[in-house]
Structure 1
Amino acid sequence: MKRRTFTFGATAALAVAGCSSSNRFQTYRGPEVTSVVVNKGARSLYLLHHTEILKGYNVRLGFAPEGHKEYEGDGRTPEGTYVINRRNPNSEFHLSLGISYPNREDVARAAALGKKPGGDIFIHGQPLTYRPKGGDWTAGCIAVKNPEIEKIYAMVRDGTPITLRA
């Protein structure tokens, strides 16, 4: 009897684990995402096919979200037009898409202040090691929920322009 109970319990546990597992790497076969727009003031990110909004998401920004990023450690999210230039499937934040910050102007602006411009600005999911308690919390990135970054990661290709607006 104990053996039958153990076998049933083990089978049930495996079945539940199989049902709850999520494939982080989704497939997208819809219209091409031709641009990404982030409206910092509204805390929103839009994936566009030309002028048509394909998807919209609520976002969290750098812990000091007002204004353009000026230097490393200022907690601001950049403003301007960049491109998605890399992807990290092994991110500390579930998945992440890199943004081409800093550009030449960003480097010059930081240098004029005697500072480094910083870098490693991403659209990413939630951290793997801790849970933020709401509000803006990143060091300058754009954060979304994990199921959302899975969709964004599948839809957005490297080279896609991203515009970050105040």
Structure 2
Amino acid sequence: MLRLFCVTLCVLVSLSSSFAHALSGKADLVIVKKSESSMQILRQGKVLKTYHIAMGDAPQGHKLTEGDQRTPQGRYILDYKKSDSAFYRSIHISYPNEEDKLRAKALGISPGGLIMIHGENPKSKLPPLEQQKYNWTNGCIAVTNKEMDELWQVIDPGTPIEIWP
């Protein structure tokens, strides 16, 4: 019995150590797959970790205008961090890019902005993992606060993000 406990403990320590090592370097790409409600953190083409995400209330399609509850699609930059976010911590996505601005101008609408990867809704009565089952943001990408702490460590400003349908 003691031997089984020791073996189990060694395996768990090894797994947590290898996970910590995998996330010890910086990400060089973030990929969001909206149809899968997932976000992958990559370094040198290798997926370090995949997160389940919550998005805007209307996640299908590209964000066109302010208030449409959509999460944008395309290639952007994670350009700054905000430690005092209303949703724990946040990392800003450089939406709208030039193409988004041109499209909005041609349509005579505002493209919106302030799209972030952020933590939990502090006003929600749901536990964090339950909250993640629903698309509740205004177009942002939400993870749990614990996951946001992980992302905070591995994502530096300037990291590209690709948001796919």
Task: Indicate the TM-score class for this superposition, using the shorter chain for normalisation.
Answer: 0.7 to 0.9
Match of 1:80 in 2: 74
The answer as to whether partners of 2:23 and 2:48 remain within 8 angstroms in 1 is no
Larger radius of gyration: 1
RMSD: 1.6
The normalised TM-score by structure 1 is 0.79
**One-letter code of the match for 2:48?**
L
How much does 1:128 deviate?
A: 2.1
Match of 2:10 in 1: none
- Is the CA contact 2:78–2:92 (under 8 Å) kept in the aligned structure 1? yes
Structure 2: 5+ residue stretches without partners: 1-21
Give the 4+ runs in structure 1 shifted more than 6 A: none
Matched, 1:70 2:69: no
- Displacement of 1:50 in angstroms is 1.6
* Pairwise CA distance, 1:119: 0.4
Residue 96, structure 1, aligned to residue 90, structure 2? yes
Deviations 1:84-143 (A, max 9, x none): 011110000011000000011101111222111100000000122334654211111000
| Counterparts of residues 17-166 of structure 1 (less than 5 Å) | 30-131=24-125, 134-166=133-165
In structure 1, stretches of 5+ residues that fail to align are 1-27
SS of the equivalent of 2:147 reads helix
Residue 7 of structure 1 aligns with which residue?
Answer: none
Q: TM-score, normalised by structure 2?
A: 0.80
Contact 2:56–2:135 (CA<8 Å) still a contact in 1?
A: yes
Amino acid at match of 1:63: D
Richer in strand (by share): 2
Q: Which residue number in structure 1 is paired with residue 11 of structure 2?
A: none
| Closer/same/farther in 2, CA of residues 147 and 102 from structure 1, 3 Å limit | same
Q: Tell me the distance in 2 between the aligned counterparts of 1:76 and 1:55.
A: 24
Q: Measure how far apart 1:158 and its partner are.
A: 0.2
Q: Deviation per CA, 1:3-32: give whole Å up to 9, x if none.
A: xxxxxxxxxxxxxxxxxxxxxxxxx97222
Q: Which SS does the other structure have where 2:104 is aligned?
A: helix
Distance 1:129 1:136 in 2: 15
Alignment length (residue pairs): 139
**1:29–1:36 CA distance, 2 compared to 1 (3 A):** closer
Percent identical residues: 41
- Structure-1 residue corresponding to 2:14: none
Measure the CA separation in 2 of the matches of 1:131 and 1:121.
23
